[in-house]
């Protein structure tokens, strides 16, 4: 990650000054003048720890999740989509119409700060607290809106991240205003706010779980935990500075932390605070095999993985408690539901990424990193790319066995060793594996064009549609109701697994079956262990078998319906997220 530059001044000098507790004003720092005035006002406040709050705001990293400038309105990236989040003036007035002057107001989600600015202007005696999960949005709003008088007087209070916990006991006494965009993005915090407003969950005695944010599996875990009586606090582990995560855990003191995939800084913070950590290795990653913190009591870190082959690797890396655990499905979110007309009739459906952009990025990174190490005496990009291409060509002839892994190790051994010695967290072999995964997925799905396959996913599929008449690209599917309708309404759903992880059963398989859909999956021993192949779903081994099965079940819908019904029963009885959660929660070490 690259820390956002605060301007001409030295951010590090400023950090040292703030952490030293001097409370000195930020002057001649090179910050945007409005942001500077607002931060100075925060430092002048009679606040319990103003230095820390300003420090946390300045640690914000923009990343690429906020897009401002150009012809589009301001956009915020969440759940794989860019969403407009500016509030038109007429809507600001409408959203705040029930706020009376003199009230204590809690604004949930700062956005660009329009709601707060409007309240300060039109409700001159209202006392306002504004909270947001994202430090960058707070920094952005403080750079666009002049709040410094209200901040200095104490009329406006800013809260960030886990500060929300301290405000929950008082929300029922305040007029809570939800930002129209972020009330839908900050779903877990909104659950907490709604419970606090209604008084349905006691303030004392909560059973807190810190949950690392990211992806459908995390949302499944969160819903299942809430049904078991836990209170979930989201940890924005990808966008927060590691120090923000540590602050959140110190405030929260949860029973345990659960993350999807291993995050080193979360493990370090849990180790420091003696909080049990549960890691579920779910998503494909290009990182090398992680290692636990050096000072860790490794029994307090429990690691689960979808990959049978990773169990021994993780144990050898130093993790004492490692188990295989396949995915499960949230049957409250995925259930049989027919299309309401928007999806329409679909003979063959595939929902998933083309991986094209990802593959192109990894190809570029591989060539750039290879050139930087100069492993072959200033070999040209073109020569290196030709060597790489000759290796990639091997798998195109037969995608049933992953050959590239061994070939890349042989053909680029000097480069891979140099990359290992350099300490780079990425593994170039995994970049190449993702390139081959994309090639395979495109080859298999495009082969079904003659069967009228409909595809939902990233816009990389547009280029495939252009060259394969019969394949219809339908855009990005909403991960909620729309995906559920697609899976339940399509005559046939297909799955194409990543070639380098044949032992992993993708979430797509569980989700389709939970929606009552008929699934043609790719065969693996893991699939055969979890499902009765031929009774609960069907499985192919080669592209020819896939095409034959699509033709067969297109002509025999009654047979497909019988298998789909058995598959639905299988996931509802054996493969729910609730069942997986019992393993995740029961096996974690108790905090000392």
Give the model confidence (pLDDT) of 265-290 as tens digits.
Answer: 999 999 999 999 999 999 877 778 88
Residues 138 and 219 reside in one and the same domain: no
Rg (CA), the chain: 26
Whether the pLDDT of residue 45 is over 80: the answer is: no
User: How many CB atoms sit inside 10 A of residue 558's CB?
Assistant: 7
Query: Which 3 state secondary structure label does DSSP give 318?
Result: coil
Which structural domain, as residue segments, surrounds residue 10? 1-188
CA distance 371 to 363: 13
Mean pLDDT of 524-553: 97
**Residue 342 belongs to some domain of the structure:** no
- CA gap 448, 349 in Å, rounded: 10
Q: What is the mean pLDDT of residues 6-18?
A: 42
**Alpha helical stretches, state H, 423-540:** 428-446, 461-467, 481-489, 507-514, 525-530
pLDDT at 170: 94
The answer on 434 and 361 residing in a single domain is yes
- Span of 6-15, 77-86, 197-206, 372-381 with lowest mean pLDDT: 6-15
CA dihedral 104, 109, 110, 111 (to 10 degrees): -150
Q: How confident is the model at residue 19 (pLDDT cuts 50, 70, 90)?
A: very low
Do 43 and 95 lie in one domain? The reply is yes
Q: What is the CATH number of the domain that holds 581?
A: 3.40.50.2300
On whether both 251 and 171 belong to a single domain, the answer is no
As a whole number, mean pLDDT of residues 579-589 equals 80
Indicate whether 435 pLDDT > 50: yes
Q: Is the residue at 500 inside a domain?
A: yes
Structure tokens at 401: 């066995």
Q: Do residue 316 and residue 362 come from a single domain?
A: no
Whether pLDDT at 447 is above 60: yes
- For position 16, what pLDDT does the model report? 45
Report the pLDDT value the prediction gives residue 379, as an integer from 0 to 100: 82
Tokens standing for residue 482: 């729309």
pLDDT for residue 132 is more than 70: yes
Is there a domain that residue 193 lies in?
no
Name the pTM for this structure. Answer: 0.88
pLDDT at 587 over 60: no
Does residue 195 fall inside a structural domain? no
Share of the chain above pLDDT 90, in %: 72
Q: If pLDDT is split at 50, 70 and 90, which confidence band does 129 have?
A: very high
pLDDT for 5 = 36
Assess contact for 480 and 511: CB atoms under 8 A.
Answer: no
* Contact partners, residue 381, CB within 8 Å, separation at least 6: 367, 371
C-alpha atoms less than 13 angstroms from C-alpha of 455 in its C-beta half-sphere = 31
Least confident of 22-31, 188-197, 351-360: 22-31
Domain count of the chain?
A: 3
Q: Give 4's pLDDT tier (boundaries 50, 70, 90).
A: very low
> Listing from the earlier edge strand, what are the strands of the sheet with 208-212?
231-235, 208-212, 256-260, 277-281, 301-305, 321-324
* Position 182 in a domain: yes
- Rounded mean pLDDT, 183-199: 94
């Amino acid at each position: 990650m690259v820390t956002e530059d605060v301007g001409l001044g030295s951010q590090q000098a400023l950090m040292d000054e703030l952490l030293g507790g001097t409370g000195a004003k930020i002057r001649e720092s090179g910050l945007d003048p409005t942001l500077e005035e607002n931060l100075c006002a925060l430092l002048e406040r009679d606040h319990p720890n103003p230095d820390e709050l300003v420090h946390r705001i300045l640690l914000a990293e923009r990343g690429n999740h906020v897009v401002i400038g150009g012809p589009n309105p301001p956009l915020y990236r969440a759940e794989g989509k860019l969403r407009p989040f500016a509030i038109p003036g007429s809507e600001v007035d409408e959203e705040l119409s029930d706020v009376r002057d003199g009230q204590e107001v809690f604004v949930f989600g700062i956005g660009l700060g329009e709601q707060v600015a409007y309240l300060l202007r039109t409700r001159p005696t209202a006392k306002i607290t504004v909270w947001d999960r994202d430090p960058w949005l707070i920094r952005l709003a403080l750079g666009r809106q002049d709040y410094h008088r209200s901040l200095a007087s104490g009329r406006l209070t800013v809260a960030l991240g886990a500060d929300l916990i301290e405000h929950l006991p008082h929300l029922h006494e305040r007029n809570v205003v939800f930002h129209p965009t972020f009330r839908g993005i900050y779903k877990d915090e909104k659950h907490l706010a709604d419970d606090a407003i209604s008084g349905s969950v006691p303030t004392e005695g909560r059973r807190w779980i810190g949950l690392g944010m990211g992806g459908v599996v995390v949302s499944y875990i969160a819903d299942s935990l809430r049904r078991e009586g836990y209170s979930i606090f989201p940890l924005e582990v990808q966008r927060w500075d590691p120090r923000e995560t540590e602050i959140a855990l110190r405030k929260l003191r949860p029973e345990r932390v659960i993350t999807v995939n291993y995050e080193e800084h979360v493990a370090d913070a849990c180790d420091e605070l003696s909080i049990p950590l549960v890691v579920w290795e779910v998503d494909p990653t290009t990182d090398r095999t992680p290692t636990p913190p050096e000072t860790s009591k490794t029994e307090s870190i429990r690691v689960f993985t979808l990959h049978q082959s990773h169990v021994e690797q993780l144990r050898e890396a130093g993790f004492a408690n490692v188990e295989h655990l396949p995915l499960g499905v949230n049957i409250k979110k995925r259930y049989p539901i027919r299309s309401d007309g928007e999806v329409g009739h679909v003979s063959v459906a595939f929902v998933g990424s083309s991986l094209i952009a990802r593959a192109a990025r990894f190809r570029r990174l591989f060539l750039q990193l290879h050139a930087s190490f100069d492993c072959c005496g200033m070999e040209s990009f073109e020569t290196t790319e030709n060597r790489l291409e000759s290796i990639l060509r091997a798998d195109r002839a037969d995608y049933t066995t992953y050959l590239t892994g061994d070939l890349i190790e042989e053909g680029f051994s000097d480069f891979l060793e140099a990359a290992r010695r350099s300490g780079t967290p990425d593994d170039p072999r995994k970049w190449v594996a993702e390139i081959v995964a994309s090639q395979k997925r495109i080859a298999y799905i495009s082969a079904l064009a003659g069967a009228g396959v409909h595809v939902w996913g990233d816009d990389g599929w547009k280029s495939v549609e252009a060259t394969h008449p019969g394949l219809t690209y339908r855009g990005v599917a909403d991960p909620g109701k729309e995906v559920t309708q697609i899976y339940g309404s399509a005559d046939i759903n297909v799955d194409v697994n990543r070639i380098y992880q044949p032992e992993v059963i993708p979430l797509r398989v569980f989700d389709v079956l939970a929606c009552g859909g008929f699934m043609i999956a790719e065969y693996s021993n893991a699939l055969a262990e979890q499902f009765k192949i031929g009774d609960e779903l069907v499985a192919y081994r080669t592209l020819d078998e896939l095409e034959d099965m699509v033709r067969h079940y297109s002509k025999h819908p009654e047979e497909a319906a019988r298998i789909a019904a058995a598959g639905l029963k299988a996931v509802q009885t054996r493969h729910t997220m609730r069942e997986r959660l019992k393993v995740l929660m029961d096996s974690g070490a108790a905090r000392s």
